[in-house]
Homo-oligomer: A and B are copies of this chain.
């Protein structure tokens, strides 16, 4: 008798797994090549430095077999050293034992969830926040994931105080706060330096940890943000309360699955042990390619091109939205990163709009996917990173048609 009913075999985590709305959209996109996608926050593949990467791979595979042998769980040692240097350039002084190479930042979130979040815990996230964090944290089955509101400068400190007080009253003071300070996914917002300092004080006061996720910090739009505006919270973290995550996915290429995390040594040891049981180690060739790309200056040469390219796409998107939808949509103009966050006209619903957009062969991510409290149905996230400039105008046309279709109903 074939095993059809697998439910009885599932663990509680297995039963309640959190899938990502973004990845689901990616599956839709791959099936309909004539779609225009503002959905997945993919980097622009046509900007990958393929020639230089080909040369690096040829050199590495022309050397010893070590390049594709098992490697240490902590990471390829020269890459760890290079990342210590990269952190110094970000104004963060760390030593090698405080750093762990991960299989992308998503693995960092997963390791944090497993090592730190217990079923009785409360964790804080922004409203809205990155869906990958919602999934990873949710799989650890915390008692609550509480949402803290944002305004234009990022997380709202008054609401943070309110939510913290409420959780403390309920007997579950928050254990950690997750933030994406630089060009947040999904809103594109940049957290002010003043608020970063306030968050560190808040963490100290309430004996909390902060998870600082920083995939987009290098991708600011030149001239639009003050020098030092993207400086990490971790740079001022005197008490070791910040767990910092970053990645090569947006500055080199995501297919290599190489990221890193920085945390107090005692925590990094735990994350390393948890990673060992998860995947033994990150890919050896991938890590060496990333390391060589840093050493040879490939990443440094590429990043200004990426800033200019993503700014140009942002410009086309904002210009198209202004021309076609200024009366209907409102939006946050991002000064870096991949995303524009838009608020829908009264009465419009993100999921209903997405269904009509699909008929127009356009996809994006419904805003509610980024909220843990069931709200956000009046918002959508438009990723401009992977759409060619020529496509963006047409995408906005399709969005306008989908919105009109809604008004007609």
* CB-based contact B104/A9 at 8 Å: no
Please tell me how many copies of the chain the complex holds.
2
* CB-based contact A40/B278 at 8 Å: no
* CB-based contact A255/B67 at 8 Å: yes
Q: Indicate if A46 sits at the interface (CB-CB under 8 A).
A: yes
Q: Which residues of B contact A50 (CB under 8 A)?
A: 61-62, 65, 68
Cβ distance A55 to chain B, nearest Cβ, rounded Å? 9
Q: Indicate if A30 sits at the interface (CB-CB under 8 A).
A: yes
Among the listed B1, B257, B285, B286, which residue makes an inter-chain contact with A239, where contact means beta carbons less than 8 Å apart? B1
Interface residue count for A (Cβ, 8 Å)? 91
Q: How far is the CA of A39 from the CA of B284 in the complex (A)?
A: 20
Cβ distance A372 to chain B, nearest Cβ, rounded Å? 15
Q: Indicate if A329 sits at the interface (CB-CB under 8 A).
A: no
Counting chain B CB atoms within 10 Å of each CB, the highest count among A61, A116, A256 belongs to: A61
Q: Which residues of B contact A298 (CB under 8 A)?
A: none
* CB-based contact A114/B132 at 8 Å: no
Counting chain B CB atoms within 10 Å of each CB, the highest count among A13, A136, A209, A241 belongs to: A13
Q: Indicate if A352 sits at the interface (CB-CB under 8 A).
A: no
Q: Which residues of B contact A277 (CB under 8 A)?
A: 17-18, 20, 106, 109-110, 132, 135-136, 138-139
A:148-192 near B, CB below 8 Å: 175-176
* CB-based contact B69/A255 at 8 Å: yes
* CB-based contact A54/B57 at 8 Å: yes
Q: How far is the CA of A176 from the CA of B280 in the complex (A)?
A: 23
CB closest residue in chain B, given A46: B65
Q: How far is the CA of A88 from the CA of B209 in the complex (A)?
A: 50
Q: How far is the CA of A137 from the CA of B94 in the complex (A)?
A: 33
CB closest residue in chain B, given A108: B279
Interface string of A64-90 (1 = CB under 8 A from B): 111111111100000000000000000
Q: Indicate if A302 sits at the interface (CB-CB under 8 A).
A: no
Q: Indicate if A274 sits at the interface (CB-CB under 8 A).
A: yes
A-to-B contact residues, CB < 8 Å: 1-4, 6, 9-14, 17-20, 23, 26-27, 30, 40, 42-43, 45-48, 50, 53-54, 57-58, 61-62, 64-73, 103-104, 106-107, 109-110, 114-118, 121, 132, 135-136, 138-140, 175-176, 209, 238-241, 249, 253-257, 264, 266-267, 270, 273-274, 276-286
| Given A14-B116, A70-B255, 17 new contacts (CB under 8 A) | A2-B264, A3-B240, A12-B118, A42-B70, A47-B65, A48-B65, A54-B57, A57-B57, A69-B255, A103-B279, A107-B279, A110-B277, A132-B277, A138-B277, A139-B274, A255-B283, A257-B279
